[in-house]
Each structure stands twice: as structure tokens, then as C-alpha cells.
Amino acid sequence: MRWSELSDLIGQEFRHHWRLALLTGLILGGLNAWLDEVDPTGRAGLYAGVVTTFAQLAVTAQAMKGWGYSVNGARIVPYIGQSIVSTFGLVLATIALLVPGLWLYARWFLATPIFVAESKGAIGSLGESFARTKGSTMPLIGIALFIGTLFIAPIVAGSIIFGEKSPPIFAAFAIYFVVFTALASGWLASVAAYRGLTGGLNALEEVFA
């Protein structure tokens, strides 16, 4: 898939589902800002991580349902297993060097949409994504870098402004809102890439063809 094709699909995705990204930013941003306030030690971050995993599955399923795909594979317990495996792999690759981490992220970019729509299972969806993204790695790395910049920028800005001090809750919410809106944007981008690499028209495109 060329960059121009991918960017067109992502633009189409956001025109239809931008509210999902904003709603995710509001909910997860508010949750994490509140957790920082009530538990400064960060131990509650584990619960936030589980909620974020569930949110990724829910947002992906809702976006794909909007395009007419089946979402019968959207099961949270197996998906937590997939998330653990993929996160572990990405962390190891990134520790080795940033480039392998980006490359692996790009090759696994379709894993969640495949998991949701095709019931391939936790490991099977990762393998299927690896196979389908062959030849499209560089455009997907470009998307990963763009989304990653949006994700990291507010965190860096918060660190510069507040240093080691905890930001006030309104500032923490603003930071988390941008972070999780960017994260949800990445989830929607994976749906757009899935639509482009599955080799067929989705249900809505068939209606208007």
C-alpha cells in the first residue's frame, strides 16, 4: 500500500469516526487524571492499563462495525493475552534498538482489526498481520512515528513545565486527553489500514459503488 492510499483511508476513517477518538480521550484522560490524584504512587496504573486494553478493543470493534464488518471476535480475555504478547515483543525490540521496535509495530499494525473481524485468536492475529503488512511497512512506520509524536509531545511538555512535581488535576487531564486521543487515533488508523489491505470493498463502499 502506498502512502497516498493509506492517508486517504485514514482521512476517510476520521471523517466517520472522529467522535470515537475524542470520547476515548475524554474518558481515559479523566480516569488517569483522577487516578493520579487519588493514588500518587501509580499502583492504580494497572487498572488503567486494563481499561485501556478494553477501550482499544471496543473502539476498534465499533469502528469496524460502522464499516459493515463482523465483530464476533471481539472477546476481551483472549485480547488481553494478545496485548501482553505484543507489548512484550515491542518492548524487547525497542530496547534492542528503536528501528526494530517501529518495524515490529508496523508489521503487527493490523492485529487488533484481524482479531475483531476474523476470530484468528491472540497469536494467529499477530501472525496474520505480519503476513498482510509485507510491502507496506514504510507507510505504516510513518503513521507510527506521527501518532507517536502526538502521544509523546504532551508528556514531554508536561515534564518541562512541571518538572518532578505532579501537575494540577486540570493540567493532568489536558495532558492525558491529548495522549489518549492520539492513542485512539492510532487504533482508528489500524482499522483504515485493515480496510486497505484486506483486498475487498467494505459494506458501505459496496452500497455507494
pLDDT of residue 106: 87
Label residue 47 by pLDDT band (50, 70, 90).
Answer: confident
Give the list of residues 6+ apart from residue 119 with CB closer than 8 angstroms, or none. 72, 73
pLDDT of residue 99: 66
Residue range 188-204: average pLDDT? 75
- How high does pLDDT run on average in the chain? 81
Label residue 191 by pLDDT band (50, 70, 90).
Answer: very high
Residue percentage of the chain with pLDDT more than 90: 30
Inform me whether the pLDDT recorded for 207 exceeds 70: no
pLDDT tens string 59-84:
998 998 888 887 776 665 566 666 66
Inform me whether the pLDDT recorded for 162 exceeds 80: yes
Q: 151 or 41, which is more confident?
A: 151
pLDDT tens string 123-142:
888 889 999 998 888 999 89
Report domain extents, the chain. Answer: 3-40+59-197
- Print the SS3 string covering 170-198: HHHHHHHHHHHHHHHHHHHHHHHHHHHHC
pLDDT of residue 199: 58
How many whole angstroms separate alpha carbon 193 and alpha carbon 181?
A: 18
Inform me whether the pLDDT recorded for 6 exceeds 90: no
Q: What are phi and psi of 167, to 5 degrees?
A: -70, 155
Residue range 28-52: average pLDDT? 81
pLDDT of residue 13: 93
Residue percentage of the chain with pLDDT more than 70: 79
